[in-house]
Amino acid sequence: MALSPSGPHGLVRTATSVLAAFAVILSGLGNHRAAAAPAPVSAGSPSGHHHQSLDTRQANIGKPVAFFLAGDSTTAAQSSTGGGWGPGFLSTLDTTRGATGRNFAKDGATTVSFVADGLWAQLTSSARLAVAEGRDTFVTIQFGHNDKNPAKGISLDAYQANLARMAGDVAALGATPILVTPLTKRLFDTNTTPPRVDDDLAWQQNRTLVAAVQGGFPFVDLHRRSMDYVNAIGPASAAAYSRVPGDNVHINARGSVVFGRLVADLVSKNLPRTGAWIKKDAELTGKIQAGVPA
C-alpha cells in the first residue's frame, strides 16, 4: 500500500489528507509491538522463535531503558559533514537512574550501506547484550535522506522493505524497534505566503509509515512534526539551527537539542513506558508545541 504522488517535483502533496484517514490506525500502532518478525536484513541477524523474543521484552518492561540509534547524518553527531537529532535525544535520557544509549548513525548512510558497512551488526550486537542484561531495549531507525538519491539505486519498494527487515531484526532480539520518519529539511518555497517548507521527503515519510503499519511496528512521525514546527517558526528562525549558514539539511548543537527533545516527546507519547526514563523539559516542549523559536 502506497500513497499516490501529485504536484511538482513528484511530491506527495495529497499525502496529508490520505494519511489523515489513517490517523486512528497510526496512533494506535504507535504503541503497538510487532506481531511477527520479517526476514533478517543481514546474515548476522538473530534467529529463534518470535514468542521467545516477546517473552523477553515483556520480562524487561519496567527495567532501565537502553536506546540504540540507527540512521544517517540527520541522526548522527555534529561534525564537519553532518549533524542530527541523535545527541540531543540521548541527552534527554535519565542516566542517573540507569538509562543508557548509543548513537550508531553515520553521515551518508542508507538502509543498504548501514548494513554493508557493518554498523547494523554492531548495533544489533549491542542491543542483544542490553536485552541479556535485562534492559528494556529500543532501536530507532531513521533513513531516507540518502536513500532517495537516484545514484544509490534504492527503489522506494526496497527502502520500505529494508526498514521492515531492520525492524524485524530488532523485534527478533526481544527489543523494540521504532521506525522514525525522516527529519524535515529547512528549504523553503518562497513563492508561497507565508513561505512553506519545500518537501522532497514525502515519499520516504509515506513508505516509513506504511512499513510501520504493515509490520505492526512502533513509529514516530518526526517528518510531519518537525515540518510543522519549522513552518511555524519560519525561514529566519529555522536557519538558526543550521550546521553552517546555508545548510538546510543538518542541524547544529542547539538544533540537536530542540529536535532531540521533539523526538523524545514523541517517543514518550507513543511508547508511554519510556516516559519514566526520559527527562522532562517543560519550557522547551512548550515552545515546540506553541510553534515559537526555542
Torsion of CA 84, 85, 87, 92, to 10 degrees: 170
> In this structure, is residue 84 part of a structural domain?
yes
In a domain, 193, yes or no: yes
Q: What is the mean pLDDT of the chain?
A: 86
Domain containing 241 equals 11-290
137-182: per-residue pLDDT in tens? 999 999 999 999 999 999 999 999 999 999 999 999 999 999 999 9
Predicted pLDDT of residue 61: 84
How many domains would you assign to the chain? 1
Is residue 143 a part of any domain in this protein? yes
Q: Does residue 57 surpass a pLDDT of 90?
A: no
Phi first, then psi, for residue 84 (nearest 5°) are: -135, -165
Specify if 101 maps to a domain.
yes
Cell of 231: 513552518
The reported pTM is 0.84
Pairing of strands 188-189, 196-197: antiparallel
Query: What residues contact 163, with CB distance under 8 A and at least 6 apart?
Result: 111, 141, 143, 179, 207, 208, 211
Q: Is residue 4 part of a domain?
A: no
**CATH number of the CATH domain containing 207:** 3.40.50.1110
Within a domain: 52: yes
Beta sheet of 65-71, edge-to-edge order: 100-103, 65-71, 136-142, 176-180, 219-220
- The model's confidence at residue 15, banded by pLDDT at 50, 70 and 90, is very low
| pLDDT on residue 183 | 98
| Of the listed ranges 11-15, 28-32, 95-99, 175-179, the one predicted with least confidence | 11-15
Q: What is the pLDDT of residue 45?
A: 31
pLDDT digits (tens, 9 = 90+) for 241-293: 999 999 999 999 999 999 999 999 999 999 999 999 999 999 999 999 999 99
Residue 59 has pLDDT above 60, yes or no: yes
The 3 state secondary structure assigned to the chain is CCCCCECHHHCECCHHHHHHHCHHHHHHHCCCCCCCCCCCCCCCCCCCCHHHHHHHHHHHCCCCEEEEEEECCCCCCCCCCCCCCHHHHHCCECHHHCCEEEECCCCCCCCCHHHHCCHHHHHHHHHHHHHHCCCEEEEEEECCCCCCCHHHCCCHHHHHHHHHHHHHHHHHHCCEEEEECCCCCCCEECCCCCCEECCCCHHHHHHHHHHHHHHCCCEECHHHHHHHHHHHHHHHHHHCCECCCCCCCCECHHHHHHHHHHHHHHHHHHCHHHHHHECCCHHHHHHHHHCCCC
Evaluate whether residue 126 is within a structural domain: yes
Cis (ω within 30 of 0) for the bond into 150?
Answer: no
Mapping DSSP onto H, E and C, the string for 115-179 reads: HHCCHHHHHHHHHHHHHHCCCEEEEEEECCCCCCCHHHCCCHHHHHHHHHHHHHHHHHHCCEEEE
Cβ-based neighbours of 59, under 8 Å, separated by 6 or more: 134
CB 242 within 8 A of CB 83: no
* Rounded CA separation 94/30 (Å): 23
Is there a domain that residue 260 lies in?
Answer: yes
